[in-house]
Amino acid sequence: MLGVEEVLKEVLVKVTPRREEYEKVWSLITRLCDKLKGVAEEHSLKIDVEVEGSVAKDTWLAGNRDIDIFMLFPKSLPEDFIRKYGLLIAREAVKRVGGSYYETYAYHPYIKGLIEGYEVDIVPAYRVEPHEVLTPVDRTPYHTRYVISKLTQDMKNDVRLLKQFMKGIGVYGAEIKVGGFSGYLCELLVIHYGSFLNVLRNAMEWRPWRTVIDIEGYYSQQELRRLRKVFGNSPLVIIDPVDKTRNAAAAVSLQRLCEFKAAARMFLENPSIEFFFPPPPKLLKPEDYERLRLRRGSTFLVIEIPCPKLPPDILWGEVYRSLRGLRRLLEKYEFSVLSQLAWSDEKSVVLFFYEVHSDKLPVVEKHVGPPIGAGEREESFLRKYLIENAEEVFAGPFIEGGSWIVFKRRKISDLKTLLSERSLEAKHGTHIREIFAKKQHRVYVNEEVEEILRRHERDDFNVRLSQLLSGTYSWLKVACEEVVNEEKHVGN
């Protein structure tokens, strides 16, 4: 087993950009910024152009292809104006440095330029004081400045280690799809705890819905306790040094928080480079699927819908909403859910996967009615099952535990019927609901799922499904192998 220092040294060599990379990035940035300012001036606009993000802060990972450039407009201009001119200037500038582009959307619409292999986000924002922030993106320049003012060279290395660690264990990224830690959050953590290893040591002790980190000490202990309630939905609160009313960790889900906590402990106990660079995932061969399914004796289900055209965060918000909604629908109709998974290529298809106990339920269903002595409700329950719907009743009404019960014909006892006919009873995102309303969803059960696997044989869907059905976290496997090897060693 390598010592932790050796591991970190090895990782650092891999994640630190080389000199050529710096030169290439900054040469491109200089050219592009010149063009942006030039085009603006042609429109008689005086804007500031600033590099933001990990490139500006020198915390990017070697090989990273993302660059963030902000065009800062005076706050006197209306939002419509800066949106229009922002797009116009960015498009023209990208063209002039020989790149291509497409329009996309975060808070504002903005331009993603594809230049010399880099993806350059060119984002319009306002030049304002921190307390004047008009749109969420206006805060970014202050994030950049804050981080630059705090990070030493060693700490930059530690940010890179932390980012790569989070990437390796799958908790990196504040997008809704991931629900994890942003690059800025990694920087804040290193600033607060001083080093990569200290972040890990402290993260082990984090308590979801309890831990509050207030780097700049804006609040008293008492205020922080009260504040916890304001940020009640977030399992982790890290007060943004640039805006003390903002939780910089708002995107972090309980899932990713717990994964990070657990992986941090595992790494400190069994340091290994594989936490940072996990082994390639196994793929589930479609021809192995049927055997795997029969061995488990459970029922597999895939619901396939065409992917609505939406920005990724909106899309994944809706996808996860439907994933939860459909799960609750299954459970409402008494199908026991073992596991679930949503996947999308963000272009053509969204897949919802569930593993349930069985695709059939007994036709008979025990239905619990009102308590004895409930007057009106009792009356109408008895009327319903003795007279009006008597043909649906197998037996009863009986009394059980002080309430009326009846054994009746189950409305839906088949999984496919439920999802074909009742999928609109589930909670969905707006656009996904439309797709279900138009009956554009297709349902695959058990052996039919093999078709889906064949279609996505090389996709990340296969990787995810393979992990769900026969894997574990790769970092957990690595840690476990370390322990086994160690024990063998001690045994010899």
**Binding site residues, its own copies, CB under 8 A:** 204-205, 207-208, 254-255, 258-259, 261-262, 295-299, 338-339, 355, 357-358, 360-364, 366, 372-373, 378, 382-383, 386-387, 394-402, 407, 413, 467-473, 476-477, 480, 483-484
Select 117 or 402, whichever has its Cβ closest to its own copies: 402
* Half-sphere exposure in the Cβ direction for 56 (13 Å, CA): 22
In the bound complex, what is the minimum distance in angstroms from residue 457's beta carbon to its own copies? 20
Tokens of residue 16, six digits: 């630190």
In the bound complex, what is the minimum distance in angstroms from residue 293's beta carbon to its own copies? 10
d(CA 72, CA 94): 17
Select 296 or 411, whichever has its Cβ closest to its own copies: 296
Select 366 or 442, whichever has its Cβ closest to its own copies: 366
In the bound complex, what is the minimum distance in angstroms from residue 463's beta carbon to its own copies? 13
Select 134 or 338, whichever has its Cβ closest to its own copies: 338
Q: How many Å is the Cα radius of gyration of the chain?
A: 28
Q: Going edge to edge, which strands form the sheet with 403-409? A: 364-371, 403-409, 393-400
Alpha carbon separation from 460 to 344, 419, 422, 464, 474 (Å, rounded): 9, 25, 29, 6, 15
The set of residues, in sequence order, having a beta carbon less than 8 Å from that of 284 and lying 6+ positions away, is 292, 453, 462, 465, 466, 469, 470
In the bound complex, what is the minimum distance in angstroms from residue 400's beta carbon to its own copies? 8
Select 57 or 256, whichever has its Cβ closest to its own copies: 256
Select 126 or 300, whichever has its Cβ closest to its own copies: 300
CB 59 within 8 A of CB 147: yes
In the bound complex, what is the minimum distance in angstroms from residue 295's beta carbon to its own copies? 7
In the bound complex, what is the minimum distance in angstroms from residue 228's beta carbon to its own copies? 17
Select 13 or 387, whichever has its Cβ closest to its own copies: 387
In the bound complex, what is the minimum distance in angstroms from residue 226's beta carbon to its own copies? 24
DSSP 136-199: GGGGHHHHHHHHHHH--HHHHHHHHHHHHHHHHHT-B--STTT--B-HHHHHHHHHHHSSHHHH
Give the H or E element holding residue 485.
Answer: helix 474-491
